[in-house]
Each structure stands twice: as C-alpha cells, then as structure tokens.
Amino acid sequence: MPNAQTKSVSDKPVIRENVNLAPLNTLGVEAVARRFVEIDHPNQLRQLHDDGFFDRQIPIVLGGGSNLLFLNRPDRPVLKMSVSGRDIEAREDGSVLLKAGAGENWHQLVKHSIEKGLGGIENLALIPGTVGAAPIQNIGAYGVELKDVFHNLTAFEIETGKFRTYTAAECNFGYRDSIFKRELKNQVIVCDVTLQLTKNAHDLNVDYKGLNDHLESKKISDPTIKDIFNSVVEIRRAKLPDPSDIGNAGSFFKNPVLSEEQFETLRSNYPEMPSYKVGDDEYKIPAAWLIEKAGWKGKRVGNVGTYKNQALVIVNHGGATGEEIYNHALKIQESVRNTFDIDLRPEVNIVGNES
C-alpha cells in the first residue's frame, strides 16, 4: 500500500448535505446526515483540516456502520472512511507485516491473509465492519483479540492536522476497548492498521469450546489456519443473521467480567452457567446466556427483536427507529440486572443527538 502521507491526491473531498445513512449502517436505521463527506485517501483529511472543516464540530467517523446505532438525526457531520489498500512485508524473524487501509472490509482482509498462508487472525473471520474500527474496538472472537496480532496504526490528529503512528502499548488495549474509545475519543481518525502475522509455525488457538467442538464434529484433529477460518465462518453463519437479510449490528452487548466473589455467588444459584476464566480472580460470563435465561431470546416487540438463534443480537425486523432499538436494549439490560444483578454494557456505539 502506498505511503499514506506522501502519495499525491488530486480529488478534493466533497461535502454533501442531507445524506441518507440507512444504507450505511447494518441495523438499517433511518437517519439523515446534515453534512457528509467520504474519504478515500488520508491526505484528504489534511485538506479538510486546512479548510477548517474540524473547527466547529468533530465529525462522527463511519466505517462499515456495523457497530453503531443512530438514535435520531445526528447534528454532527458524518465522515466515512473509505481508505483502501493492502501491503505485505516480510520480516527477518519470519513473521509478516500486513498493512491495510481503514476502509478495507475486515472479513475480506482475514480471507486475504488465509489465501496468502498468513496466520493469526483466522479466529476473527466474519466479524462485520472495517479495518479502521478493529483497533478502536479491539475486536475479538473465539479466544483471539486484535491486540494479539497488532503491530501499529497510523492516525490523523484532528487538532494538529498531523499523522501519528501508535504502537500496541500506546493503544492501551482492553476488553473491547482501547485508548481511542477513552482518552483519544473524537481526537484522532484511524487511517491504516498494520498486523504482525505468521508465515510458518502458526500459533493456533482452538481452546474456545464452541470452536473446539466444531472441529471435533468435523473430525479435524490437526487443524490448519484454513480449517479454523472455515469453522469460524460456519459457526457464525449458523448463529448470526446476515445484515443484508435482516438489520443487525452483531453482538449488541459485551460479555460481563465478574470478580471471583460475584462469580461464585452466581454459580451457586446457576451451576449450569457457562464461564471463562480471564484472570486470577475474574470470570467472563456469556451475555447471550444471561439474556436467554432472562427470557429474551427470540422475543419480538413491534419492529424490534432479539435474534432467535443468538440472544446477543438485536434485530430490526423492518422500519424500526433508533429509539425503538435503544429502548429494546434498555429493557434487556433491566431484565438481566433484576435477574442476575449484572449490568450489561453495550458493545455497539450509541450515537445520539449531539451538538
């Protein structure tokens, strides 16, 4: 991929007005952006900065629209990152650096890595969204998180109009979290991401029970990265709805992490409760299990529902407003809180009427 800071750009970004965002978010919620601009090269961000675009309001940055919910018409301008490009660089230690533009489709990048024989992100197949959103969310699935393969990223500083590289340590990754969701929220825009993958001697992760069970059902005892990729795709397609068929944003809530004391108290009442130890005294509980146990799996209220095959997914059956979906989520949270004394936190970014 050409260097994002030096490649010349002739096309100046065009700012459009009153753009319908329904096709640009996977929940299919109707919302209209008063001002909208699409970026296909990082240098266009600098052009916007020099023209004073960022002086009045910080924009809502939009990638694949798979991890957000518009409550209503956003007051802030919307900036869609469509920067493309992929580049592979071999390293002396045998690893490979895979660099991709922020607008690249994440699943297609995972598929590309498998085709090139590169290991490390096969467990992250079929996660919706773009590359630029991956480090912000520190996406993860089936025992692997982005931080496990992250090398660095390039981001545009809105205040200074300069580009800066962030290392893994500087990103301060946490569970579905990073510095970009906290201290640097609305301060930088991710332009590209570089991952460190393996060319040989792949470090496979098949510890996650659902994945391990699926491989065993296929009688695969010595899986390749392609086997893992195919298994994850099959599992996710069986459990999760396709946004092109029914509006959804994937997992709506984070899996809660409990202290050992909380966990033991809950387990005494629900011995069948699934759990994963994530620290010396911390346990992750599947939010889907909590939601299903609270009676929400497959439940529909008006135009909104909880998906019949995966309770973690809220779906738009057609015509649902952002407020309707949000209220549905609030009712689920209240129900789980009343049943288990656990607060579910949204994984989806809620975009309100902001000034």
Here the CATH number for the domain that contains residue 46 is 3.30.43.10
Go through 214-250 and write b for each residue having 16 or more CB atoms within 10 A of its CB, e for each that does not: bbeeeeeeebebebbbbbbbebbeeebbebeebbbbb
95 phi, psi to nearest 5 deg: -85, 175
**Is 211 among the domain residues?**
no
Residue with tokens 């949000």: 326
**Is 33 among the domain residues?**
yes
Number of domains in the chain: 3
Which of 155, 92, 95 lies closest to 120 in space, CA to CA?
A: 95
Q: Which residues span the domain enclosing 300? A: 247-351
- Tell whether 193 and 272 lie within a shared domain: no
- Tell whether 167 and 90 lie within a shared domain: yes
8 Å CB contact between 123 and 226: no
- Tell whether 35 and 103 lie within a shared domain: no
Here the CATH number for the domain that contains residue 114 is 3.30.465.10
Would you state the pLDDT for residue 234? 96
The Cα 212–Cα 47 span in angstroms is: 49
The Cα 115–Cα 121 span in angstroms is: 12
Would you state the pLDDT for residue 142? 93
The Cα 307–Cα 303 span in angstroms is: 12
- Tell whether 258 and 328 lie within a shared domain: yes
**Is 90 among the domain residues?**
yes
8 Å CB contact between 288 and 274: no
**Is 184 among the domain residues?**
yes
- Tell whether 136 and 114 lie within a shared domain: yes
- Tell whether 300 and 254 lie within a shared domain: yes
Would you state the pLDDT for residue 352? 81
- Tell whether 332 and 253 lie within a shared domain: yes
- Tell whether 58 and 98 lie within a shared domain: no
Last residue of a domain, one of 32, 49, 81: 81
Model's pTM, two decimal places?
0.88
The catalytic position among 122, 176, 178, 236 is 176
Residue with tokens 């759990």: 275
Per-residue pLDDT of the chain (355 residues; tens, 9 = 90+): 544 443 444 488 999 999 999 999 999 999 999 999 999 999 999 999 999 999 989 999 999 999 899 998 898 999 999 999 999 999 999 899 999 999 999 999 999 999 999 999 999 999 999 999 999 999 999 999 999 999 999 999 999 999 999 999 999 999 899 999 999 999 999 999 999 999 999 999 998 889 999 999 999 999 999 999 999 999 999 989 999 899 999 999 999 999 999 999 999 999 999 998 888 899 999 999 999 999 999 999 999 999 999 999 999 999 999 999 999 999 999 999 999 999 999 999 999 844 3
- Tell whether 261 and 175 lie within a shared domain: no
The catalytic position among 104, 122, 145, 347 is 347
19 phi, psi to nearest 5 deg: -95, 130
**Is 123 among the domain residues?**
yes
**Is 1 among the domain residues?**
no
The catalytic position among 113, 178, 231, 251 is 251
Last residue of a domain, one of 64, 81, 98: 81
**Is 216 among the domain residues?**
no
- Tell whether 39 and 59 lie within a shared domain: yes
Q: Where are the beta strands (DSSP E) in 40-171?
A: 60-62, 68-70, 78-81, 86-90, 95-101, 140-141, 144-145, 150-157, 163-167
- Tell whether 145 and 185 lie within a shared domain: yes
Last residue of a domain, one of 65, 81, 97: 81
Is position 236 annotated as part of the catalytic site? no
H-assigned helices in 17-139: 43-50, 53-56, 106-115, 133-137
Would you state the pLDDT for residue 5? 40
Which of 162, 111, 104 lies closest to 134 in space, CA to CA?
A: 104
Is position 56 annotated as part of the catalytic site? no
- Tell whether 187 and 100 lie within a shared domain: yes
Here the CATH number for the domain that contains residue 254 is 3.90.78.10
Is position 347 annotated as part of the catalytic site? yes
Most distant CA pair in the chain: distance in Å? 65
**Is 224 among the domain residues?**
no
What H or E segment, with its residue span, contains residue 226? helix 225-239
